[in-house]
Structure 1
Amino acid sequence: MSESSSKETDPTDPEHREVGQGLLDEEMGPSGSMAHLYRGEIHRMRFWRERLDRTTNWAIIVIAAILTWAFSSESNPHYVLLVGAMILGTILVIEARRYRGYDIWRSRYRTLQKNVFAYGLDPSQGLEETDWRAELSRDYRQPRLKISMEEAIAHRLRRVYLPLLTIVLGAWVIRTTAFTDVLWPASAAIGTVPGVLVMGVVALSYGTMVFIAVRPRTWHAETEMMTEDIREK
């Protein structure tokens, strides 16, 4: 290897140690590197937002098809609606995982919004986070998930999946009561599994989802319209 190429790749060379120095100085204008970084974070966040919308669309399409088929004939089995609820649960887990990834980019975007652009518009309000540059630097060096899987599931339940599950299970109750001559809960039986047991499992599963969605907790995904003050006009 030549001396010139060795110098170019030597990380101890002073020239290499200074690469990036001053790149994101606070006094740089809107055309500087900070603005390009902000635009890049918006692009990544929008990409992950589209992935969330895609799984939500899957859920709506699948449930619409199952509801249509379940009520198209009295001979169609009622437990197809329960299969639809299980499919919803599977898609919920997939979407919660994607939400955790989306939150990585959204949190960076919000950090730049609060501490660069909000401060630039009105410096009299001060900084939201005094050590935000160090925290953002650590996050770029080693990205990490900032919210738990349970919190992500709770967010998606509140936003989309709890209403969908309520519709599906409500349709299942109607299907097992109004479209059969067998008394309820015996009409909820699936094969040799008694209706009472099926009802118990369904009620327990739905109750668990409701508990996850509404239980008091400290939300780590900030500015997600979880409090009333953000909804004030």
Structure 2
Amino acid sequence: MGEDTEQGAADEVDLGNEVASDVSEMSSVLGDAYRGELDRETTWRERLDQTTTWAVTVMAAILTWAFSSPDNPHYVILVGVLAVGLFLLIEARRYRDYDVYRSRVRLFQENLLADALDPSRGSEHEDWRSELSGDYRDPTMKITMLEAVANRLRRIYLALVTVLLLAWLFRITAYVGETGVVEAASIGSLPGILVLTVVTAFYGTVLAIVLWPRERKAKGEFRDREVGDWKDAN
């Protein structure tokens, strides 16, 4: 039994060596691998879009109800902020998975397809096959949760929560009547000043996440500096 296992392992090693040494066979394997990674990337991209769609739908429903009658409480808009924040966290988790497959696709594009189209520039990564092999052997997340949240905020969710903030401010000022804005912002027994402080702290945190300078690890993003580098290289 042990000899059979060792023989099977040896055959698998020989098979890998044969594929690696045959250019046509390796090209076929890499082509199939690229199509597979591209399909996975597309699947996760669709999941991201679905999360965004649900966030926009929930936000629209809450805003419609909040402004349908002056008697409706203003804090339902803040509930919408929490709901959109939950969708943001869900989408950030999905984005981390999406980035795993996108990073592999970018390795293929940068080092195989781009090199085939313009061999004069060579590969972007000298050991890209070893890097891809290591990622297949030990798959890992490429970016942190914080970077994923910052990315989705910049792309989509900052605009959504800003719309909700403006709607809430309009809601507590348009129907303020004889009471002050601070009093109008109160929720039950919670004083308005406390509510305003919490809302300010939340949006301050959101802006800090978006604007805080950090090295971005997400691979394959469209960035102005990358466009400039490409022009300089050409």
Whether these two folds match at TM > 0.5 is: yes
Structure 1 unmatched ranges of 5 or more:
none
- How far does the alpha carbon of each residue in 1:23-42 deviate from its partner, in whole angstroms, 9 at most, with x for none? 35684389711111110000
Structure 1: distance between partners of 2:9 and 2:173 = 78
2:126 equivalent among 109, 130, 154: 130
Q: 1:15 to 1:30 in 2, by over 3 A?
A: closer
Contact kept, 8 Å, 2:19 with 2:26, in 1: the verdict is: no
- How far does the alpha carbon of each residue in 1:148-187 deviate from its partner, in whole angstroms, 9 at most, with x for none? 0000000000011000000001100000001231211211
Task: Give the aligned residue type for 1:36.
Answer: D
Contact kept, 8 Å, 2:176 with 2:184, in 1: the verdict is: yes
RMSD, aligned CA: 2.2
1:47 equivalent among 43, 48, 55: 43
User: 1:222 Cα shift?
Assistant: 2.5
SS of corresponding position for 2:16: coil
Aligned pairs, number: 229
1:189 equivalent among 183, 186, 190: 186
**What's the TM-score, normalizing by structure 2?**
0.91
Report the structure, 1 or 2, having the larger helix content. Answer: 2
Identity %: 48
Contact kept, 8 Å, 1:24 with 1:34, in 2: the verdict is: no
- Taking the TM superposition and a 5 Å limit, the aligned residue runs for 1:123-202 are 123-181=119-177, 182-202=179-199
User: 1:214 Cα shift?
Assistant: 1.6
1:104 equivalent among 86, 100, 104: 100
User: 1:213 Cα shift?
Assistant: 1.1
Structure 2: distance between partners of 1:170 and 1:13 = 64
Q: 1:25 to 1:162 in 2, by over 3 A?
A: farther
**What's the TM-score, normalizing by structure 1?**
0.91
Contact kept, 8 Å, 1:24 with 1:33, in 2: the verdict is: no
Contact kept, 8 Å, 1:10 with 1:16, in 2: the verdict is: no
Structure 2: distance between partners of 1:110 and 1:13 = 32
Q: Show the counterpart of 1:92.
A: 88
Structure 2 unmatched ranges of 5 or more:
none
Contact kept, 8 Å, 2:19 with 2:25, in 1: the verdict is: no
Contact kept, 8 Å, 2:103 with 2:220, in 1: the verdict is: no
Contact kept, 8 Å, 1:88 with 1:165, in 2: the verdict is: yes
Q: Show the counterpart of 2:222.
A: 225
SS of corresponding position for 1:206: helix
